[in-house]
Chains A and B, each alone.
Chain A
C-alpha cells in the first residue's frame, strides 16, 4: 500500500541555519514525489517535484529536496533558513493516486 510519513510534527530552526524537513514514502513502482507549502491564511503552493533524473531537485524559494531510493526518502532542505519560511510543509507521493503526509510545521526563529 502507498504511504507517506513525515515523522516530525514540528521543526524549529534558528534563522540562518540550514533546515531539513523529513519525508519517507512507500509506493510500488517509481515514485512521483512532491513538496507543498502552506503559509498562514494562504492556500497550498507547489514547491518542487521529483519524477525522474537528478536526485537533487531544486524548487521555489531556495528549497531543494534529495531523492534517496535506497532509504525511500525525499527530505526537503534549505541551506539558510529565513523567518518567512515559517509555514506548514506537506510531502506527497503519487502512485495510483496522490497520497499526502500529515504535514510538518516549520518554525524559524530570529
Chain B
C-alpha cells in the first residue's frame, strides 16, 4: 500500500521556538493531506486540510498563525508550530488522501507514523 513518512519522529524544543514537521507521500501523489493532533486519551483531532498549491483549511478553534501549513508539492506538506508552548506538546499525525483508481476521494487515508512534540 501507499507509504507516508513523517519527520522527525520525536522532537524536544524550548518554549518560544518553532518546530517544523514534514510529511511526505513516498510512492504516490497526494493532492490533499491532513494534519491531526492526537491527545493522550486517544481521540484524533483534525487540525487542517492541506491542498497542494492552495491555502490550508483549518478546523474551528485551530490557530492558523500558530500552526502554519504548507503543501508546496504533491508529495510534501509541512506543519510548523510557531512560538511553541508546553500546551502544544502532543502527538501530531499527518495523512494523505487516496483517490484510488477512480480519482475520487471517498475517505480512505494513508497515515504517517506521527511526531511526538515535547515543549519544555
Interface residues of A (CB under 8 A from B): 9, 32, 34, 36, 42-46, 49, 51, 88, 90, 92, 94, 97-98, 100, 102-103, 105
Tell me which of B13-21, B62-70, B79-87, B107-115 binds A. Answer: B107-115
Contact across chains for A103 and B109 when beta carbons are under 8 A apart: no
Contact across chains for B42 and A102 when beta carbons are under 8 A apart: yes
**In the bound complex, how far is the Cα of B42 from the Cα of A98, in angstroms?**
17
Interchain Cβ contacts within 8 Å, total number:
47
Contact across chains for A46 and B108 when beta carbons are under 8 A apart: yes
Partner of A49, one of B43, B95, B106, B112: B106
Contact across chains for B114 and A43 when beta carbons are under 8 A apart: yes
**In the bound complex, how far is the Cα of B109 from the Cα of A88, in angstroms?**
17
Contact across chains for A98 and B107 when beta carbons are under 8 A apart: yes
Q: What's the interface size class on B, roughly? A: 10 to 19
Contact across chains for A105 and B42 when beta carbons are under 8 A apart: yes
In the complex, residue of chain B having the shortest beta-carbon distance to the beta carbon of A88? B42
Contact across chains for B111 and A44 when beta carbons are under 8 A apart: yes
Q: Which residues of A contact B107 (CB under 8 A)?
A: 32, 34, 49, 92, 94, 98
Can you name 18 A-B residue pairings with CB atoms under 8 Å? A9-B42, A32-B107, A34-B107, A34-B108, A42-B113, A43-B112, A43-B113, A43-B114, A44-B109, A44-B111, A46-B1, A46-B108, A46-B110, A51-B106, A88-B42, A100-B43, A103-B42, A105-B42
**In the bound complex, how far is the Cα of B6 from the Cα of A34, in angstroms?**
23
Q: Which residues of B contact A97 (CB under 8 A)?
A: 46, 49
**In the bound complex, how far is the Cα of B42 from the Cα of A94, in angstroms?**
20
Q: Which residues of A contact B26 (CB under 8 A)?
A: none
Q: Which residues of B contact A98 (CB under 8 A)?
A: 46, 107, 109
